[in-house]
Structure 1
Amino acid sequence: MDTKTTIINIATALFQEKGYMGVGITEILQTCNISKGSFYHHFPNGKEELLIACLKSIEKVITEDIEYIFNQYRTAHEATYALIEKLIYLFDKEDTLTGYTFASIISELGSLNEPVRIAVNSLYIEMQRIYAAKLEADGFSKADADSLALMMTASVEGGIMLCLTQKTSDPLKTVLNLLPNMLKK
């Protein structure tokens, strides 16, 4: 694995564990065992540029997984049920969902600057695109599919954040019991 990828992977894990503000450049350098010069060679604009690279990396992993799950099931109802069931399993197994959310990284940033806001929004747009496409295939109008996709994104992301703060998968279990049934045509 190349140095830049190593920095992104390690920083992503640190950001997810401690939040963006809770991780300093020094900790990243020490954990990656690299020099300050090496870090700034790969991320000349510093920690914020690294954050954006981490968010893009997470986006790729999350959207590929959602796409895979949604392609395995005939309906949005079945796919959504499977997705949330997987999240519950992961939370119960690992007591966290760090690999599946970026909200823990950016939640303490009261006002996102424009490049970070764009990177975060990109993931939400891609998730909603996947959901809406499946809902349209189920026979929902484009407008209804788009509205439901937004609600799905908010429900799943909110459920993840509640699981992390409450230290229980119960919030996602509630979402699992309610959300898929709202998607039946």
Structure 2
Amino acid sequence: MGAKGEETRARLVRATRVLIEAQGYAGTGLNQILAESGAPRGSLYFHFPAGKDQLVGQALAEAGREVGVLIDSMCGGELTAVEVVRGLLDLFGERMEQSGYSQGCPLATVALEVAAGNEGLRRICADAYGGWQRALADRLAHEGRDRPAAEAAAEAALALIEGALLLARVQRSRTPLDRAARTAELLLH
């Protein structure tokens, strides 16, 4: 595939990421993705012959990897687990505020919507969340927790982040994120 084809594919994925995060899977149609991306209809099925599920799966996988790289880099440095969680809450919160509270976690909207009915997309979300959780657990283990305790604390921290993002989006307020940052201190120390 040439450079033009790669750019078209990337535009389709980018548009899908933005739309599904704000509107969910069911609320985002292929015509809207095409309009937002500026891609011709034929290119959608050329790049994603299986259609919407394949395109959304690619968008979710890329978003999951991006956040995973961020978490890995934060956890691999000198930051404590508390600082990592605070940093993630701050980054997601900035993103949320800049989008008028239409965006937060790039997976959550679709994950909640498809978990019971679309095994392929559920699996992509589960894999991404699992990677994020492992990175936090590794950081906590590095700080001296035994592995089972590190894994439990990482799962609780991820639930704290996701719950705070959901509440912040619904309330259109950073307050749940700020409270979650303070709670992370209690949870992870």
Output the TM-score relative to the length of structure 2: 0.88
Residue matched to 1:158: 163
> Is structure 2 residue 30 aligned with structure 1 residue 25?
yes
Residue matched to 2:153: 148
User: d(CA) in 1 for partners of 2:29 and 2:38?
Assistant: 14
User: d(CA) in 1 for partners of 2:142 and 2:126?
Assistant: 24
> Is structure 2 residue 130 aligned with structure 1 residue 120?
no
> Is structure 2 residue 64 aligned with structure 1 residue 64?
no
Answer whether contact 2:11 2:39 (CA < 8 A) is retained.
no
Q: What is the letter of the counterpart of residue 40 of structure 2?
A: S
Change (3 A) 1:34 1:86: closer
Pick from 173, 177, 183 the counterpart of residue 178 of structure 1: 183
User: d(CA) in 2 for partners of 1:97 and 1:66?
Assistant: 22
Residue matched to 1:81: 86
1:79 CA displacement? 2.4
Residue matched to 2:113: 108
Partner of 2:114, secondary structure, is: coil
1:94 CA displacement? 4.2
1:104 CA displacement? 1.9
Q: Which residues of structure 1 form unaligned runs of 5+?
A: none
1:74 CA displacement? 4.0
Change (3 A) 1:99 1:60: farther
User: d(CA) in 2 for partners of 1:86 and 1:161?
Assistant: 15
Change (3 A) 1:63 1:2: same
1:97 CA displacement? 6.7
1:84 CA displacement? 2.4
User: d(CA) in 2 for partners of 1:32 and 1:78?
Assistant: 36
1:108 CA displacement? 3.1
Moved more, 143-152 or 12-21: 12-21
1:3 CA displacement? 1.2
User: d(CA) in 2 for partners of 1:11 and 1:82?
Assistant: 26
Q: Which residues of structure 2 form unaligned runs of 5+?
A: 1-5
For these two proteins, the number of residue pairs brought into alignment is: 184
Residue matched to 2:143: 138
In the TM superposition, what whole-angstrom CA distance separates every residue of 1:88-136 from its partner, at most 9, and x where no partner exists? 3443444337264311234333623211111010111001111000000
Identity of aligned residues (%): 24
Partner of 1:20, secondary structure, is: coil
Moved over 6 A (4+): none
User: d(CA) in 2 for partners of 1:2 and 1:113?
Assistant: 28
